[in-house]
Amino acid sequence: MYIVTGGAGFIGSGVVWKLNRMGVNDILIVDHLDASEKWKNLRGLRFADYLDRTRFLELMQSERDPFGTKAVIHLGACSATTEFNAAFLMENNYRYSQTVCRFCLERSVRFIHASSAATYGDGAAGFNDDLTVLDRLRPLNPYGYSKHAFDLWAKREKLLPRFAALKFFNVFGPNEYHKDDMRSVVCKAYEQIKAGGTMRLFKSYRNDCPDGGQSRDFVYLKDCLEVIGWLIENPGVNGIFNLGTGRARSFNDLARAVFAAMGAAPRIEYIEMPEAIRDKYQYFTEAKMDRLRASGYDAPFTELEDAVADYVKNYLAAPSPYLADGA
């Protein structure tokens, strides 16, 4: 049995889709289906069973493995950078992840864990996934800290040579529709342009960066799923790895790509950034991909324009935007 925690979510449902394409249907999905439309991500996917995250936690704490587990892809977490209940995040993202990690390592089960680029904070210490800089990182929000705390724990306990952890950068793609304000800029831009022909971006508050010039390492969901599939098939590859493209692109670049995919001329409006996030805002992120490449992963990452075009044309503008129903 393959277990995917957060399996009804954005990346999690994508992993189930990827496993199905690899010929794997013996999948246990662990999640918490609340009142959102996250359940729609499961339509069209093949899996053996579903468990609520609370019940799964109870079963993991038993001495035996009740699942016959082959691998756990642990993506379940609260990923909202706007969530400021640090106590909740530490229990849900840090303590829960420790339990899942111990369950796997005590039974020699393949464990793939989702960390985050939010652990890098403002980037002052760089975006290098080498363990020598891990202690110098200073996340800007409780979510980033909860992920960083787990990474530090795994390093302190000398567990990192035994599992793979991925620091996801700015992932976009199908099945993110339930995420409300945490949806990608691509998804929001498509809706804005479709409704009024104009896309809104934040103004810059730094002299060295023009409006819309803030940059991110935007990485397509399908590329992330290729990496995860490769890690499943290569259980000897372990440690913390960045997961981006290795190339930062500006929000202006992203906007132009969305307009081009929609066959429209660019119309961008620059708006004030909320004061609550101005001092926590990252102006630049770019994944250093040397360690993943040195580990043997050699597949190319999709160019931003091509990825946006695939997302817009084959999903957002399609009769059904969900991954299992698209191209």
Which residues are designated catalytic?
143, 179
Residue that is written with structure tokens 């990496």 in the block: 227
Contact 125, 131 (CB under 8 A): no
**Rounded to an integer, what distance in angstroms lies between the CA atom of residue 323 and that of residue 305?**
19
Distance in angstroms (rounded) separating the CA atoms of residues 279 and 277: 6
Structural element, H or E, at residue 232: helix 221-233
The C-alpha R_g of the chain, in whole angstroms, comes to 19
Distance (Å, whole) CA 88 – CA 145? 12
Nearest by Cα to 314 from 192, 186, 179 = 186
* Sequence-separated (6 or more) residues with CB below 8 Å from residue 303: none
Q: What is the full DSSP assignment across 12-25?
A: HHHHHHHHHHTT--
C-alpha to C-alpha distance for 327 and 306, rounded to whole angstroms:
14
Helix (H, G, I), strand (E, B) or coil at 175: coil
- Two tokens, residue 73: 């892809």
- Burial of residue 189, with CB atoms counted within 10 A of its CB: 0-12 exposed, 13-18 middle, 19 or more buried: buried
Cβ atoms 201, 281 nearer than 8 A: no
Longest CA–CA separation in the chain, Å: 61
Contact 186, 261 (CB under 8 A): no
